[in-house]
Amino acid sequence: MCDWGYKTAVDCSEILSDGKLSIYERWAFWAEHTEKMNEIPMDEDTLDALAVAVGEKDYFVYSFTAESFFHKAGFDSRRIYSAAGSWEFLQCAKACSSSSVFPSSEAVHEILSNLREYSVVTNDCLPKCSHCGGDCIPNVRLNDKFCHERYSEGLSNLISWLEEIAASKTRLVIVELDSAFKANRLSAFPMESIAADLASCALVRFSNERYPWVPAVLSKAVGLPTKSFHELPELLAHAESADGQMLSVAAEKEVEQAAESRKLQRQERDLSVEPIHWRRILQHLGEDLFNCAYERSM
Ligand SMILES: [Zn+2]
């Protein structure tokens, strides 16, 4: 795979649409990549630190990776919204039905068995939609054919959870992990809109960038640089010494300092930005893409 330029997991995310490869080569590479991803062990230190930081607090996970890390780590699936979908599922490439979504494990097994036994992938072992018999694609938000149905319950739970927080004016801290400006605007933008709309909300953004960016219009937000996730346990370690309270205190101090400097920036620049309500943005993520595709094909 390296000979074809696929050196990282991110490179491999678009392997099934690589025009340089035949359809059989694409699926063979995809199956090998999926198998490798399944073999990568969880980062237990980071997970332990996260578990301690979360403790008994009320929480919700908004994930924009399709690797299902939080599910695998044992977080409550009712408290996870996987906005990007999941590599663990395939869907009909034409999105012929909103429920045409299937586990990908069988296809991976079939392709790899064929590849290892006969050194070739044939049409017979490529995954097909069980509704229309057509081709399949990963159930991941790669284009406007993405079937969102599997994730709709998570989205609805997230919206209800946020509405309760807004109504009760409970204090909310959004902790963003690995949120680089260039990479993940679809992840960062909804979180920024929540932080802008909820008065009692603070945003703490961990990023591998040297100078993590947060919008100047947010009154309680801070970007903290981390070089890798191996540093995360250390950053969160303070939580262990005070039953989860230290992280909030340390983060709050940084948030206050950053808020003060941005307040000055705003006054200087006389910024006037109208916040967009978080509910509208989140609902847009769950828009019924299947219906849109269906209407266009009529
Ligand atoms: Zn189909």
Q: How far is the CA of 128 from the centre of ligand 1 (A)?
A: 8
Q: How far is the CA of 273 from the centre of ligand 1 (A)?
A: 44
Side chain identity, residue 276: I
Which H or E run includes 61? Answer: strand 61-63
Q: How far is the CA of 197 from the centre of ligand 1 (A)?
A: 40
What gap in Å lies between CA 13 and CA 10, rounded to an integer?
Answer: 5
Q: How far is the CA of 115 from the centre of ligand 1 (A)?
A: 25
What gap in Å lies between CA 159 and CA 181, rounded to an integer?
Answer: 24
Helical ranges in the chain per DSSP H: 9-12, 23-39, 44-54, 69-72, 105-118, 152-168, 185-197, 232-236, 245-269, 278-285, 289-297
pLDDT, residue 211, reads 77
Q: How far is the CA of 8 from the centre of ligand 1 (A)?
A: 30
pLDDT, residue 92, reads 95
Angle between helices 105-118 and 23-39 (to 10 degrees): 110
Q: Minimal CA–CA distance to 290: which of 117, 159, 131?
A: 131
Average pLDDT per consecutive 10 residues, the chain (298 residues; last block may be shorter):
64 74 86 84 74 81 87 89 93 91 92 85 87 93 90 96 92 81 72 89 83 82 72 52 46 59 57 62 69 42
pLDDT, residue 242, reads 38
Q: How far is the CA of 289 from the centre of ligand 1 (A)?
A: 14
Dig out the tokens for 186 from the structure.
């679809």
Confirm whether pTM is higher than 0.85: no
pLDDT, residue 35, reads 86
Q: How far is the CA of 131 from the centre of ligand 1 (A)?
A: 5
